[in-house]
A and B are shown apart, each in its own frame.
Chain A
């Protein structure tokens, strides 16, 4: 690892249009750990969930919500899937509301594409 006093975190940003609204994606790539924020023009960090990949005899990643309530389990479900697939720790913060199921599906699809690009 080169230590030259330059920041090592890599920040990836993307904007995707959902019908007429821009949805913003930010991924911060850290050491075997990734911070994901998805939201709208007014960028709030309303909730935060953390997913840890499974290890040893455990087969299911653990996930917990540390901020907000994540009543609809969006952040946790997403985190669990990502931690399982990429075997990394994921911090997930979603601010897209929970009314529109199609928006949730859209966000998951675009996020998967973005992460695939970043981690492969």
Chain B
């Protein structure tokens, strides 16, 4: 049984963003991609995102329309609006990297609230970069 490898593909990363340890875990299942992004060491909200059309059929796969829904956690308010943005952006960036990837993404996310828009943008850019450095697609 030595040639049978464990079927899940896991990739981990971590970085420090504005003094907060930020943990990234990406797990490739056969039918889904599971991504955890957290500054609290645990999952706060869960969002499921699907692409509305196959990305390779879209004129710009990186702008493919997506549909997201909260499965768990706060779903109203500015923090959850931000999480929806992360969810759709992550799915769109995956589509840009691999237009044939069609698995739904389950995102478990918990980020420290940040008031300043410029700082929010910095967190966003660093997190997206780190997630894209852990591809299972």
Contacts and interface: CB of A to CB of B under 8 A. Distances in A.
A4 to B, nearest CB: 9
Of the four ranges (under 10, 10 to 19, 20 to 34, 35 or more), the interface on chain A belongs to 35 or more
A33 interface: yes
Given A15-B6, A37-B8, A91 B43 contact: yes
Tell me the dominant secondary structure on chain B's binding face. strand
Interface stretch (A23-31, A77-85, A103-111, A112-120): A23-31
Interface in A8-31: 8-9, 11, 13, 15, 22, 24, 26, 28, 30-31
B69 to A, nearest CB: 10
A8 B41 contact: yes
Given A26-B8, A31-B41, A67 B23 contact: no
B7 A9 contact: no
Interface string A85-97: 0000101000000
A8 B21 contact: yes
A56 interface: no
A70 to B, nearest CB: 13
Given A42-B7, A66-B72, A67-B106, A3 B12 contact: no
B35 to A, nearest CB: 12
Contact of A32 (B10, B42, B72): B42
22 contacts: A1-B21, A5-B15, A5-B16, A5-B21, A7-B14, A7-B24, A7-B25, A9-B23, A9-B25, A13-B8, A22-B4, A24-B6, A26-B6, A26-B8, A31-B42, A37-B29, A40-B7, A43-B30, A48-B71, A48-B106, A64-B72, A66-B71
Interface of B: 1, 4, 6-8, 10, 12-16, 21, 23-25, 29-32, 34, 36, 38, 40-43, 46, 48, 71-72, 106
